[in-house]
């Protein structure tokens, strides 16, 4: 891999933020001076790592303080620089960000597991203080995964599993699809090299075979949109080999996967999205049941786009994703797509969006409030936030994100305490269901209010979420007293 240089970083930053170069140069010089003489396992000077992390952050259009914290993220842990030094040389914000990143790897405990649990908790809850900490940590992990070849086999597997269990789901929750895709393939490569290589080759062959047809389709659609005075940019979108691998557990052949070939159409305005959709469907026959409107109903990680799979040229199925350029920015960078860099309030604006729009954030806060023990906390977050989720509709069409295996009671408590407390029965897709009913993706749940008969009907072990469990337990206890 090419060594990152300061010049490359600066050129990247200049693409969106000309005016902070001086300050960033100061941070670079400071980090460079203090890491002087340190070498990475790859033989490169240590500073190449913070530089690469800052570069990843610059690709996400990070604000000044985040970039500086990226450059300085290892100085407190690996050199004799203190947080006070950073506060004095730079500012309190940068010191706090570096502190947040450092804290995750610096505590001493009796057992390794205990330490890891405490670190993981710190990592996960840091998002409630300042989401930029987790974003720096994601960039740090991405670069460490890119350079994992220099580590021992054991370390490779250990880091890959941790990335799979924690960092990839996090990237997914904040909607950072480009980071997610890259991490998925790195993890897959280190955990199952043979399968990764074989499948990558098969996918490449398939895409090569279809190349003429997809190119022709891009040409046709570009012309068609142009003729209707719609400004557009059409690109092929690549999926991670890992996500294709997961799809193959469900479908047998590559050819059966409906979105192996994928085009994205980016336009200026929302109304252009729907107009373009019409044009796509006029030109190419849509596959039934494969249309999704994530514009009116964004995913819980704020992803927005229209999806439709059509029969393209030569019979190839092609998934077409239509979105505005703004939506595309958020689909690429996730939460950081909201960074309001030039107005200098990137951090607070993003934190506000996180709070208002991203559902996992509230879940994480709830769990943090309810669970004291670190080991239990990590376990619960892995199960309820980072594991497979299902998406359930309220009767007014809101989407509620729940862990796999949730019951209607979990749903009610997730919406709000009052709903959980007052619910006595539930209709799912129009039918009354028992309280231990396991919800399935996309079902609609109606809550019926009334006095609950706790003892007879609720088995606490069948409830999936900690929040519902905790409050049902409380109710049961009051009943007994
Ligand atoms: Mn690092």
pLDDT tens digits for the chain (481 residues)? 678 999 999 999 999 888 889 999 999 999 999 999 999 988 899 999 999 999 999 998 899 999 999 999 999 999 999 999 999 999 999 999 999 888 766 544 556 778 888 888 888 888 888 889 989 999 999 999 999 999 999 999 999 999 999 999 999 999 999 999 999 999 999 999 999 999 999 999 999 999 999 999 999 999 999 999 999 999 999 889 999 999 998 887 888 888 899 999 999 999 999 999 999 999 999 998 889 999 999 998 899 999 999 999 998 999 999 999 999 988 888 888 888 766 677 788 888 888 888 899 999 999 999 999 999 999 999 999 999 999 999 999 889 999 999 999 999 999 999 998 888 889 999 999 988 899 999 999 999 988 776 555 678 888 999 999 998 888 777 655 4
Q: Give SS3 for 436.
A: coil
Q: Is 78 a catalytic residue?
A: yes
Nearest to 246 by CA among 196, 294, 319: 196
What stretches of 291-436 adopt beta strand conformation (E)?
Answer: 292-293, 306-311, 317-324, 389-393, 399-403, 423-428, 431-433
Residue in 18, 22, 77, 215 annotated catalytic: 77
Reading the block at residue 6, the tokens are: 């300061």
Instruction: Identify whether the C-beta of residue 371 lies closer than 8 Å to the C-beta of residue 380.
Output: yes
Ligand 1 mean position, distance from CA 376 (Å): 27
CA of 74 to the centre of ligand 1 (A): 6
Cα of 49 to ligand 1 centre, how many Å? 7
Cα(79) to ligand 1 centroid in Å equals 13
CB 410 within 8 A of CB 359: no
The C-alpha angle with vertex 405 and arms to 425 and 456, in degrees rounded to 5, equals 40
Residues in the chain: 481
How far is the C-alpha of 264 from the C-alpha of 255, rounded, in Å?
20
Angle between helices 359-370 and 466-480 (to 10 degrees): 40
The reply to whether 77 belongs to the active site is yes
Distance CA(91)–CA(75), nearest Å, equals 15
């Amino acid at each position: 891999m090419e060594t990152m240089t300061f010049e490359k970083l600066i050129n990247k930053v200049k693409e969106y933020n000309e005016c902070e170069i001086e300050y960033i140069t100061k941070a670079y010089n400071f980090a460079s001076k203090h890491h002087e003489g340190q070498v990475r396992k790859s033989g490169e000077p240590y500073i190449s790592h913070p530089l690469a992390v800052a570069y990843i952050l610059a690709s996400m259009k990070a604000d000044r303080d985040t970039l500086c914290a990226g450059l300085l993220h290892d100085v407190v842990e690996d050199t004799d620089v203190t947080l006070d030094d950073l506060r004095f040389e730079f500012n309190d914000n940068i010191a706090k960000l570096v502190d947040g990143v450092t804290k995750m790897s610096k505590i001493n405990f009796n057992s390794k597991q205990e330490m890891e649990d405490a670190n993981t908790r710190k990592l996960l809850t840091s998002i409630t203080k300042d989401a930029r900490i987790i974003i720096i940590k994601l960039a740090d992990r991405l670069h460490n995964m890119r350079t994992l070849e220099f580590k021992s086999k054991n370390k490779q597997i250990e880091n890959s599993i941790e990335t799979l269990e924690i960092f990839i789901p996090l990237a997914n929750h904040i909607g950072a699809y480009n980071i997610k895709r890259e991490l998925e393939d790195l993890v897959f490569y280190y955990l199952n090299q043979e399968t990764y290589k074989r499948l990558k080759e098969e996918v490449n062959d398939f895409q090569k075979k279809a190349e003429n047809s997809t190119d022709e389709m891009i040409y046709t659609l570009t012309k068609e949109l142009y003729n209707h005075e719609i400004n557009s940019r059409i690109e092929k979108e690549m999926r991670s080999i890992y996500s294709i691998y997961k799809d193959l557990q469900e479908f047998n052949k590559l050819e059966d996967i409906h979105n192996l070939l994928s085009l994205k159409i980016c336009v200026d305005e929302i109304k252009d999205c729907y107009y373009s959709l019409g044009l796509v469907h006029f030109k190419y026959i849509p596959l039934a049941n494969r249309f999704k409107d994530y514009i009116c109903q964004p995913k819980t990680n704020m992803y927005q786009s229209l999806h439709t799979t059509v029969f393209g040229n030569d019979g190839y199925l092609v998934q077409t994703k239509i979105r505005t350029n703004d939506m595309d920015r958020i689909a690429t960078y996730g939460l950081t797509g909201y960074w309001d860099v030039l107005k200098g309030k990137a951090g607070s604006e993003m934190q506000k969006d996180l709070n208002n729009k991203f559902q996992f954030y509230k879940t994480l806060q709830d769990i943090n409030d309810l669970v004291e023990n670190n080991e239990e906390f990590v376990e619960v977050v892995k199960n309820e936030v980072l594991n497979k989720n299902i998406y359930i509709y309220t009767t007014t069409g809101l989407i509620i994100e729940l862990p796999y295996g949730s019951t209607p009671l979990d749903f009610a408590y997730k919406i709000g305490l009052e709903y959980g407390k007052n619910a006595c029965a539930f209709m799912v897709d129009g039918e009354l269901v028992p309280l231990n009913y396991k919800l399935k993706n996309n079902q609609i749940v109606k809550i019926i209010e009334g006095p609950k008969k706790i003892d007879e009907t609720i088995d606490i072990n069948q409830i999936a979420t900690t929040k519902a469990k905790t409050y049902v337990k409380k109710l049961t206890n009051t009943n007994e007293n």
